[in-house]
Amino acid sequence: MKIIITVGHSILKNGASTSADGRPFDGVLEYAYNKEIVEKVAGYLRSAGHETDVLICPEKKFTNSTEEKSYKLSRVNNGGYGMVAELHLNASAGHNARGCEVLYLSEKGRLAAQKIQERLATVFEDRGIQKRPELYMLNKTVPTAVMVESFFCDNAKDCALAGKTNVALLIAEGIHGGKIAEAHGSKEEGKGLYHVQAGGFSVRQNAEKLKEKLLEKGFDALIVTANQGGVVYQVQTGVYNKKENAQVMEQNLRAAGFDALIVQSGTI
Ligand SMILES: [Zn+2]
């Protein structure tokens, strides 16, 4: 069965993300987190024998989330896929809710959701699977569809737990319906992601300032929270599978007068 893993949400033309943002609560930006793990999920699935594609919306191209929807649906419904799993993270008004849930609509979706839920619930609080008739990724999609809400992006405890967990492996095992050797995906895909970082700050405001400068010069910029014996706000301009591509971005940044550093996944 051909599988497509999509990253929920996007970065709009004005630089705003359509996703939940847990960063003010010692959490993570939903979109950035899932963008970071999606290739890893796909790598594990490929290592288990599934033909797997990844879909991330182009950044700073869309003016609203409706464009995001049509971009995704046309690809998900016309690629010959048997299954689509969209990666999300949850958020709650009081920032105190915790745990995992997987959303579905069809009967096949329910069975797929159950398997993913079982794997995530080995680590995160089990909120159960949820039937959701109103979501386009479930009611407008041709392949068997699930939306994975791995944990709460605005809950510091959930995010700390996620930081110690191979969430990508749990999701892949849930989709695969069995164990996958951890060495496979992490060796081939996890370590293969190169992040280009323009700066790291202990004060969030400083990270915001650098982000603004980068956006003004036409670079992408995302602030990623990392814990390095204290919270560090890293300003990243891109994530790449190939080191050569990361090096091109590194050179472009330097040429524009910015600092640049390539950091591999698993080391930050
Ligand atoms: Zn979401």
Which among 155, 188, 221 is the end of a domain? 188
Which among 188, 207, 223 is the end of a domain? 188
Task: Indicate if 77 and 174 belong to the same structural domain.
Answer: yes
Looking at residue 209, what is its pLDDT?
A: 95
Task: Indicate if 30 and 163 belong to the same structural domain.
Answer: yes
Q: For 195-247, what is each residue's pLDDT tens digit?
A: 899 998 888 899 999 999 998 888 888 888 776 667 788 898 887 777 888 88
Find the 247 Cα to ligand 1 centroid distance in Å: 31
Find the 55 Cα to ligand 1 centroid distance in Å: 15
Which among 188, 203, 234 is the end of a domain? 188
Find the 232 Cα to ligand 1 centroid distance in Å: 24
Task: Indicate if 84 and 120 belong to the same structural domain.
Answer: yes
Task: Indicate if 119 and 138 belong to the same structural domain.
Answer: yes
Looking at residue 60, what is its pLDDT?
A: 93
Q: For 81-127, what is each residue's pLDDT tens digit?
A: 999 999 999 999 999 999 999 999 999 999 999 999 999 999 999 99
Asked if residue 64 lies in contact with residue 10, where contact means CB atoms within 8 angstroms, the answer is no
Cα-Cα-Cα-Cα torsion 99, 104, 108, 113, nearest 10 degrees, comes to: -10
Find the 70 Cα to ligand 1 centroid distance in Å: 16
Provide the domain count of the chain.
2
Task: Indicate if 149 and 205 belong to the same structural domain.
Answer: no
Mean pLDDT of the chain: 91
Find the 107 Cα to ligand 1 centroid distance in Å: 22
Task: Indicate if 87 and 217 belong to the same structural domain.
Answer: no
- Rg of the Cα atoms in the chain: 18
Between strands 144-152 and 231-240, the pairing is unpaired
Find the 256 Cα to ligand 1 centroid distance in Å: 34
Asked if residue 253 lies in contact with residue 259, where contact means CB atoms within 8 angstroms, the answer is yes
Task: Indicate if 184 and 244 belong to the same structural domain.
Answer: no
- Across residues 43-50, what is the average pLDDT? 94
- Across residues 156-169, what is the average pLDDT? 95
Task: Indicate if 172 and 258 belong to the same structural domain.
Answer: no
Task: Indicate if 166 and 234 belong to the same structural domain.
Answer: no
Q: Which residues on adjacent β-strands are paired with residue 262?
A: 196
| Residue 96, domain extent | 3-188
Looking at residue 186, what is its pLDDT?
A: 44
Looking at residue 242, what is its pLDDT?
A: 77
